[in-house]
Homo-oligomer: A and B are copies of this chain.
Amino acid sequence: MVKLVIDMMGGDNGSNATIGGVKKFLESHDDCEIIAVGDEKELEPIKDIVKIIPSESVLPMECGVMQAMRQRDSSVFKAVSAVNEEKADGVISAGSTGAFLSLATLITKKIEGVERPALISPFPTKVAGKYAVLLDIGASSENSPEDLKQFAVMGQAYCKAVFGNQNPKTYLICNGTEEGKGNELSKKTYALLKEDPNFKGYIEGRHVLDGEADVVVFDGFTGNVFLKTAEGVAKMIGGMMKDAFKHSLCTKIGYLFARRGFKPMLKTMDYKKVGGALLVGVNTVAVKAHGNSDPDSFAASIEVAYKLCKNQVVDKIKENLK
């Protein structure tokens, strides 16, 4: 039995997204107990299928860490606290990233030996069905070479636990591929990683999603820029494709003929299906769902957390860090 706590109120769509997500998830899982934290009235529709912890206050999306710590009756504070109190396996929130990550770190504590937890997520690549695991995509703003070395270890543990990949090819983001390239941080990290047999060297932004790399290590600042750039360019091109098909009656007819071909592409590009990112390095499975989650993508986030618990990812990270 997996036990998950869910912050039902965070995210742009509040309980509208999370209630549907919980229902959908539970339809296909009978070995998972869910503890839902949020407004009792709003959670009425699911009161028979989950345990409810009432909370009437919600943190705003742009909330700072100090506010997150002080507002102890917020749904996310209560949800993260419930991990310890209820001995749950994991916790999910679609609310403020900063608030959720700092609460998860402060309340469930960092794994012994971990300096900085990191946000990790698998991303679709050119190779159908193959994912690249990227970290840190935004938990930190600044990292040391030692942080990045730990990210590599935690990324590899994630790959082993989730994809059963025993020798994940690990790369470090850089502005070139030859040894000697990079900034101070890259060079020092390269020197630390050199002894790791899974470390294959530097990788440039253009090759991260080629399907060759299993794990790509970023400092949090660069990882965040990478993630948002990839997202921005994909959206921009997606918008242009729509415009292209809407151009004239002729192109609209073209769409009718072509759309079947585009299905695999849309499936690959549907980042929402990935379901959210894991905070690795803390003593629980803390999954950050997309702020703009809808019921389907929130269900996918619960699924991610459920699988990570089943795969005992936290224990495997602890083993790898030894």
One complex includes copies of this chain to the number of 2
* Contact of A245 with B261 at beta-carbon distance under 8 Å, contacts A208-B232, A254-B254, A269-B237 already known: yes
Provide the bound-state CA to CA distance between A207 and B228, in Å.
8
A154 to chain B, nearest CB (A): 20
Q: Is A227 an interface residue (CB 8 A)?
A: yes
Known: A221-B222, A240-B268, A246-B261. A142 touches B184 (CB 8 A): yes
Measured between beta carbons, the chain B residues less than 8 angstroms from A268 are: 240
Question: With A and B bound together, what is the CA distance between A220 and B222 in angstroms?
Answer: 12
Q: Which residues of B contact A205 (CB under 8 A)?
A: 224-232
- Bound Cα distance A144, B261 (Å): 48
Distance from A197 Cβ to chain B, minimum over Cβ atoms (Å): 26
- Please tell me which stretch of A23-31, A155-163, A174-182 contacts chain B, meaning at least 4 of its Cβ atoms lie within 8 angstroms of it: A174-182
Interface flag for A1 (CB, 8 Å):
no
A175 & B221 in contact (Cβ 8 Å cutoff): yes
Cβ contacts A to B, 14 pairs, < 8 Å: A138-B175, A141-B183, A141-B186, A204-B228, A206-B228, A208-B229, A233-B234, A233-B237, A234-B237, A241-B241, A243-B261, A244-B258, A244-B261, A247-B261
The answer to whether B235 and A206 have CB atoms under 8 Å apart is yes
B175 engages A220 (CB within 8 Å):
yes
Chain B min CB distance to A207 (Å):
7
CA distance A233 to B229 in the complex (A): 9
Contact assessment for B222 and A222 in the assembled complex, using a CB-CB cutoff below 8 Å: yes
Interface centre among A176, A239, A246, A255 (most CB of B within 10 A): A176
What 3 A-B pairs are tightest by C-beta distance, nearest first? Answer: A254-B258, A254-B257, A247-B261
Instruction: Give the distance to chain B from A160, nearest Cβ to Cβ, in Å.
Output: 26
A232 to B258, CA, bound (A): 24
A260-289, CB < 8 A from B: 260-262, 264-265, 268-269
A62 at the B interface (CB under 8 A): yes
